[in-house]
Amino acid sequence: MKQHNGMRPQDVLILLKILSLNDKGFKLIDLCQSIGVSLSEVSDSISRSVFAHLIAPDKKTPMRKAIYEFLVHGLPYVFPAQPGALVVGIPTAYSAEPLSDTFGVEDPVVWSDTEGVIKGQEIPVFHPKQGQAAKADKNLYELLALTDALRIGKAREKKIAGEELKKRILI
């Protein structure tokens, strides 16, 4: 096993995709193709997540409570983000569903994307293929948007995002 040098941003994308699949019988190659990440990158990510006790040793079973705790309590510190320059992109955090119903779409935040339709402040993605993967999987998109709310949100936004993640992850 390779030396563990901490979690990497793409690990969050891969963990959330595994949760989104909700299928312990998933094939690694299908996971790779669905998010546009190489097989070796996904394999290394899963190994890091097993080491961190976020995925079971079978490399298929997400440790839901641990992932939830990591996202809510660790993510804002390990992968902090601040809204950046104005770009065209895909809405995220409180600008995307399911939080946009509560917070509206004023002063949007987005992932930069040339096919985007909304102009807003840029939030850095966990992986360059994230937007493409999110467009193909609504559940993944919403999980990613909720995690961005944890990364950049104020107390109320973080609280509501955490409650929504709890409903989706601790099923």
- Closest of 166, 171, 167, 156 to residue 68, by C-alpha: 166
**Per-residue pLDDT tens over the stretch 141-163:** 999 999 999 999 999 999 999 99
Percent of the chain with pLDDT strictly greater than 70:
98
Range of the domain at 73: 9-78
What confidence tier does 70 reach under pLDDT thresholds 50, 70, 90? very high
Q: Are residues 28 and 69 located together in one domain of the fold?
A: yes
Of 50, 78, 106, at which residue does a domain stop?
A: 78
Are 94 and 155 found together in one domain? Answer: yes
- The reply to whether 66 and 90 lie within a common domain is no
Boundary-marking domain end, from 29, 54, 78:
78
Residues 6 or more apart whose Cβ sits within 8 Å of residue 167: none
Give how many domains the chain has, as a whole number.
2
Closest CA to 80 of 121, 124, 111: 124
Q: Which are the contacts of 151, defined by CB distance < 8 A and separation ≥ 6?
A: 75, 76, 79, 80, 81, 93, 123
d(CA 159, CA 38): 34
Task: For residue range 91-141, list pLDDT tens digits in order.
Answer: 999 999 999 988 877 889 999 999 998 999 999 999 999 999 999 999 999
From 53, 78, 103, the end of a domain falls on: 78
Tell me what pLDDT residue 169 has: 96
Same domain, 19 and 71: yes
pLDDT band with cut points at 50, 70 and 90 for residue 4: low
In this prediction, residue 3 has a pLDDT band, given cuts at 50, 70 and 90, of low
**Is residue 171 scored above 90 in pLDDT?**
no
**Does residue 118 share a domain with residue 72?**
no
Q: Is residue 113 part of a domain?
A: yes
| Same domain, residue pair 55 and 27 | yes
Residues 52 and 121 in one domain: no
